Amino acid sequence: MNDLVGLRKRAESGEFTPYKVLTLALDGARTDELVTCEGEFIHAWTDGTLVGITIKFNLAMNDPIDLDRHNPIDGLRFWRIYLSNTAQAGKTLDLLIAREGVKSNI
């Protein structure tokens, strides 16, 4: 409970942002585009298809994770992702990225 109180105080002061949502256009294809973000939980959704969208955590040399097969991803601490996708004209990808102490409440 004490950790929750501390987390709440940090969030209310603006010192800690518990989550963010990134919206990315899928109009063009990407290969290992760097997205700087920090968390340990990520959930992806789209108005297109997740087929053909992959992410790598922290290093571009890491294995890609197919978002259509592994979503959401929980318990893996990261400080950046590398995003690859096929082009989907007029479609967007939303990524919900949460930090410690938050994902269990989402």
For residue 104, give every residue at least 6 positions away whose Cβ sits within 8 Å of its Cβ, in sequence order, or none. Answer: none
Alpha-helical (H) ranges within the chain are: 2-13
To the question of domain 19-100 being in CATH 2.60.120, the answer is: yes
Global pTM reads 0.81
Looking at residue 7, its pLDDT comes to 66
Residue 106's identity, in one-letter code, is I
How high is the pLDDT of residue 4?
A: 66
Q: Tell me the average confidence (pLDDT) per consecutive run of 10 residues in the chain, 106 residues long.
A: 67 77 96 94 95 97 97 93 97 91 51
pLDDT of the residue at 67: 97
